[in-house]
């Protein structure tokens, strides 16, 4: 699997001239929620290529099921440990499988926005990542993807060579329970959004 990851990294490096910062901030001693913003269809491949070695074989991915109905995408479900989501019915099951994966020591990659940005800005996050973080006491690692709107995105639907930058932020520790659950979940994902915006503003 690490050979596949290495080849993916080389491909992404050549095609998108990827620059990566801050992977040393990802904890090595515990499962985490890897939470990137979502710009393009290439985002999951970017994240996979950028994973530190200790995580290469220990990550599950929450992904929109519509993208994985047919080959070759459907071939990735098992080897990439992809958890399908999309419908209300899928949501409960995807959270359950993600929670079980975290308990077994796997980290989980989930895009809090729930879909690719339509404007280029960071969209309001859904509660899924907040639920997983708060209920399992798992840190969220915010990951900024910048530049991917230039290819296979809502803004640029066609494939283009685009320079992409990936910046990992400091882990967000879920707060101790003291408020109503939904408010707690919202606070967690709002903290994620604030951190991603701060990382983006720090690029300039």
Whether the per-residue pLDDT at 200 is higher than 80: the answer is yes
- Asked if residue 104 belongs to a domain, the reply is yes
Domain that holds residue 57: 17-201
| Residues 50/82, Cβ–Cβ less than 8 Å | no
Split into its structural domains, the chain has a count of 1
72 assigned to some structural domain: yes
pLDDT at 88 over 60: no
Pairwise CA distance, residues 181 & 94, whole Å: 19
pLDDT over 90 for what percent of the chain? Answer: 70
**Structural contact between residues 188 and 42, judged by C-beta atoms closer than 8 angstroms:** no
pLDDT at 182: 84
Within a domain: residue 4?
Answer: no
CB proximity list for 11: less than 8 A, separation 6 or greater? 49
Tell me the mean pLDDT in the region 36-65. 91
Band (84; pLDDT cuts 50, 70, 90): confident
Q: What is the distance between the alpha carbons of residues 124 and 1, in angstroms, rounded to a whole number? A: 34
| CATH of residue 132 | 3.40.1130.10
pLDDT for the residue numbered 1:
61
Do residues 36 and 65 touch, judged by C-beta distance below 8 A?
no
- Model confidence at 179, pLDDT cuts 50, 70, 90, reads low
Does 153 map to a domain? yes
pTM for this prediction: 0.93
Q: Would you say residue 68 lies in a domain?
A: yes
Beta bridge partners of 60: 108
């Amino acid at each position: 699997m690490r050979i596949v990851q290495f080849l993916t990294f080389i491909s992404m490096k050549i095609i998108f001239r990827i620059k990566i910062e801050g992977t040393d901030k990802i904890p090595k001693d515990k499962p985490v929620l890897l939470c990137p913003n979502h710009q393009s269809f290439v985002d999951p491949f970017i994240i996979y290529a950028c994973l530190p070695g200790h995580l290469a074989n220990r990550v599950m991915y929450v992904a929109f099921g519509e993208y994985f109905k047919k080959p070759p995408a459907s071939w990735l479900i098992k080897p990439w440990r992809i958890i399908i989501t999309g419908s209300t019915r899928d949501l409960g099951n995807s959270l359950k499988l993600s929670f079980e994966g975290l308990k077994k020591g796997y980290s989980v990659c989930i895009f809090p926005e729930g879909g690719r940005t339509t404007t280029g800005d960071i969209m309001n996050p859904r509660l899924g990542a907040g639920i997983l973080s708060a209920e399992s006491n798992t840190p969220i690692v915010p990951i900024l993807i910048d530049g991917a709107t230039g290819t296979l995105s809502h803004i640029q639907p066609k494939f283009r060579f685009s320079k992409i930058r990936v910046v990992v932020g400091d882990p967000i520790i879920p707060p101790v329970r003291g408020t109503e659950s939904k408010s707690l979940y919202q606070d967690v994902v709002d903290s994620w959004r604030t951190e991603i915006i701060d990382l983006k503003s720090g690029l300039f």
